Amino acid sequence: MMVRTARQFAAAACVLTFSLLAPGSVAAQSADEAEAPAAVVEPRVPPPYDARLLRLAEIIGSIDYLRNLCRNGGETEWRASMQALLDGETADEPDRHAKLTAGFNRGYRTFASVYTTCTAAAVAADERYRREGATLAAEIVARYGN
C-alpha cells in the first residue's frame, strides 16, 4: 500500500502546485449507494499520516473554493485530485472516506462563509494554502512513501 500511496501523494503535490477547481461538496451519493446495505468491515488502525492527510483534505477544499471564487470558469482539477485521493486511500474504509470528505467540505465551507467576492486577502489565502498543501504532500511522500 505504501508504493501506491506515495504515487498518490506525488500526484496530489503536483496538483496542489499547478491546478485549479470547482465549487460544491465532494461526496455525492447516488440513490443506489444510499439504499445499499453497509458491508461489515473490521476497523483498521489508521495510517500514521492520517492527521496530515486530513489537513491536506481541508487545504484542497479551501483551494477549491478560493480558486473558483477568484477565477473565471469552473475548475475541476482540485476536486478530481481529492476524489483520486479518496479512491486510493479509502476505497474499503468508509469511516476514513467520510472523515476526509468532511475535511474537504470543512475547508471549502470555511472560506465560503468568509469570502463572497474575490479580494486581495482571498488571493493571498489561496497562494498560502497552495504552498502549505504542496509542502505537506511532499513531506508525506518523503516520510511515508517508499
Segments making up each domain of the chain, as ranges = 2-21+50-144
pLDDT > 70? residue 23 = no
Tell me the per-residue pLDDT of 4-13, one tens digit each, with 9 for 90 and over.
Answer: 454 454 444 4
Tell me the per-residue pLDDT of 89-123, one tens digit each, with 9 for 90 and over.
Answer: 998 899 999 999 999 999 999 999 999 999 999 99
**Is the whole-model pTM more than 0.85?**
no
Tell me the per-residue pLDDT of 34-50, one tens digit each, with 9 for 90 and over.
Answer: 565 666 656 678 899 99
Q: How far apart are CA 82 and CA 88, in angstroms?
A: 10
Supply angle C-alpha 139, 145, 146, rounded to 5: 140
